[in-house]
Structure 1
């Protein structure tokens, strides 16, 4: 195989700003969620957060995961859509510099941006302007690269526009035909609530590995606890992964459940925890690690990224005992 993971998600420039609870309330947001905004709201936030920005970089959930796979030693490519503007060029260059092959179509308007509002309790609330990324079409998915990949990785964020939905379904169908395994991240509780029925159909028809936190997994399955959610979801896919923050994670295949403890660290910014968890898990599976060891690697990589500002790591060393 040429690639370990073929990722698809929104191409967004991440703009992180430290805020207090009052600003979240003033903006009428529910803390901890992801909210789609329009051009007018994008301009408002740029002005409103001007003096609060602490970090900006090319990102988006799926891209962060692909960069994480590359950082760990895997081969990744990434499909999305940008505009012919400064952010779009930065995005393409940034992926290449991080060792990820960019399969980026070019559309009209502006490249997408995600304002990540960080509150003192380390929660992040995202206001996302999808921009050009929401225009991705099925014919812009590089099927040749997809067929030469071990995994197709899709995030729930791709389900908010019809064009993207069709692109995702096309990619999943091609992956199923080619024997490429499909991993799907639920991404966000509000995504699950908006698209619950669609996500359930995807799980039944196309998904091999499902990744979600306890709240997302319980919402999708209708269960009242993480263990029951993992059990129900594993009935419809090969592997169900339910993360539980400081309580670790459950990885279930059939009747076998691995309870993976979390690593104790001092968390500064939880922005990239889920993205790096997915990177560690996917890299581990592609490297032939057992589910338990891949889960331990995922927990370790997630723990490392929350100790710094930003959604990515510049480097990482994996202690030998993690892989044993």
Structure 2
């Protein structure tokens, strides 16, 4: 097996985040699922956008956010995701390439437009996301760069993108390409609603040994395993996945691997401004340490450092110098 020239290649939604602060009352007024992620159609996206206050546009998408963190830490990264041939598509492509991430997926002509996520941030920093998937849900298998996948140490897949049929088929093909090349596959469950719809698929992938690193939060762990008790959920999966990583918000994170359980506390922050992207950046820190040969506890620690940076400001892309924060773990 040849040495990998890319450390992490990811497949995910290519989304531009549109973020605005809001009062708690607006969440109820609009009938939103507080703290969750809901898929919306064109009409609902327009209704929500019209209800927003002054907003910021920041390139996002879960896996793309993770790559932004990885690249900021110094990892060699590439992204596969579908944008439309429109202004937001150009914004997304510019932002990801400016971050040092290879992005060669061709833009898609015509409708639907590039995906966007309308994010309402309440005073406690909680984010309520409403995603119009647009062009991102039409990523075809033909768009995969299988040679790049074969050159990457880790293929990282975003659970959100499992929902639409076309990219789901593309990700299955990508898993086969990574497996054929002897590479690792990492998967993030993304949200409990995705598990509600595709949990059988995910459990089948796990049972078949197709996933080497599984990322989840405590809510997703319960949805996947059926165990509300956190430790029972860990016990149900730890023998089936070589590396199981579960975040618990302010209670820190754990990793189960090789028959051992590792745990680190959350890194304290002066004020939680916006939790958007906390899990994405945790995965970035963890994977960066992992591909650079650090032990599980150090991987968890860097994940916690990156998550703390992201929740201290608006947006899911790092603003502070992550390499400085990481210190020797970078």
Report if TM-score (shorter chain) is over 0.5: yes
1:18 Cα shift? 1.1
1:246 to 240, 245, 250: 250
For the pair 1:196 / 2:203, whether they are aligned, the reply is no
2:325 to 296, 299, 318: 318
What corresponds to 1:78 in structure 2?
79
1:20 Cα shift? 2.1
- What runs of 5+ residues in structure 1 fail to find an aligned partner? none
Q: Deviations over 1:206-232 (max 9, x none)?
A: 111000111111110122222221221
Question: Which is further off, 38-47 or 70-79?
Answer: 38-47
What corresponds to 2:228 in structure 1?
224
2:190 to 187, 191, 208: 187
1:319 Cα shift? 5.0
**Which secondary structure state, in structure 1, belongs to the residue aligned with residue 267 of structure 2?**
coil
What corresponds to 1:286 in structure 2?
291
Question: Which residues of 2 match residues 20-169 of structure 1 at below 5 A?
Answer: 20-49=23-52, 51-53=53-55, 55-107=56-108, 108-109=110-111, 110-169=113-172
Question: Which is further off, 288-297 or 15-24?
Answer: 15-24
For the pair 1:257 / 2:265, whether they are aligned, the reply is no
RMSD value, Cα = 1.5
Q: Is the 8 A contact 2:212 2:242 kept in 1?
A: yes
Q: Is the 8 A contact 2:124 2:273 kept in 1?
A: no
- CA distance, structure 1, for counterparts of residue 32 and residue 325 of structure 2: 38
Q: Is the 8 A contact 1:79 1:104 kept in 2?
A: yes
Q: Deviations over 1:59-92 (max 9, x none)?
A: 1111110111000000110000111101111111
Q: Is the 8 A contact 2:289 2:329 kept in 1?
A: no
- CA distance, structure 1, for counterparts of residue 59 and residue 309 of structure 2: 20
TM-score (norm 2): 0.94
Equivalent pairs counted in the alignment come to 321
**Which secondary structure state, in structure 2, belongs to the residue aligned with residue 157 of structure 1?**
helix
- CA distance, structure 2, for counterparts of residue 203 and residue 103 of structure 1: 30
Q: Deviations over 1:147-172 (max 9, x none)?
A: 00000111110111110110111111
Q: Is the 8 A contact 2:17 2:117 kept in 1?
A: yes
**Which secondary structure state, in structure 1, belongs to the residue aligned with residue 274 of structure 2?**
coil
TM-score (norm 1): 0.95
- What runs of 5+ residues in structure 2 fail to find an aligned partner? none
1:236 to 216, 237, 240: 240
- CA distance, structure 2, for counterparts of residue 115 and residue 160 of structure 1: 19
- CA distance, structure 2, for counterparts of residue 47 and residue 323 of structure 1: 44
Q: Is the 8 A contact 1:105 1:136 kept in 2?
A: no
Q: Is the 8 A contact 1:66 1:279 kept in 2?
A: yes
- CA distance, structure 2, for counterparts of residue 135 and residue 152 of structure 1: 20
